[in-house]
Each structure stands twice: as C-alpha cells, then as structure tokens.
Amino acid sequence: MPRMNGFEVCHAVKNKLGMPNIYIIILTAKGQEFDKQKGNEAGADLYMTKPFDPDEIVEKAIKFLSL
C-alpha cells in the first residue's frame, strides 16, 4: 500500500479513528512471530498467513457476524 502498511491501517482504525469494535483480519505472507506480534499490537482480531484456507475465512466471518 502506498502510504500506510496493513499494521498502520489496523492501528489507525482501532485507535486513532476510535473504532475498536471493527473486526480486522490481517491476511499476509509474513508468518514470523515478530510479524504476528506486530499484528496483535496493532489491534488485529485475527492474524492469518498464506497459504490459507478460504473456508476458514468464511467460517470466521460467519462466527463474527453471528455474535
């Protein structure tokens, strides 16, 4: 992304824009523990690495939307 990376967008949505109830899934190729920690610190609700199972994303979305 040209101006902000995904971690920065997540942090901005959750903290700067005051939208803590927005559910954010980070889907990335970065699977190192350091990157997962960055995602958690940014406020991501779920951190998934590629390759991923599309059915799992659908399952998570249904679970979240059913709350």
Token output for 51: 């390759």
Structural domain total, the chain: 1
From CA 37, how far away is CA 65, in angstroms rounded?
25
* Residue 65 pLDDT level (bands cut at 50, 70, 90): confident
Domain containing 59 equals 6-65
The CATH number that applies at residue 16 is 3.40.50.2300
pLDDT (0 to 100) of residue 64: 82
Residue with tokens 């899934």: 25
For 24-48, the pLDDT digits (tens) are 999 999 989 999 999 999 999 999 9
pLDDT (0 to 100) of residue 2: 81
From CA 25, how far away is CA 56, in angstroms rounded?
12
pTM as predicted: 0.80
Residue 1 lies in a domain: no
pLDDT (0 to 100) of residue 67: 66
From CA 6, how far away is CA 27, in angstroms rounded?
9
From CA 62, how far away is CA 56, in angstroms rounded?
10
Residue 23 lies in a domain: yes
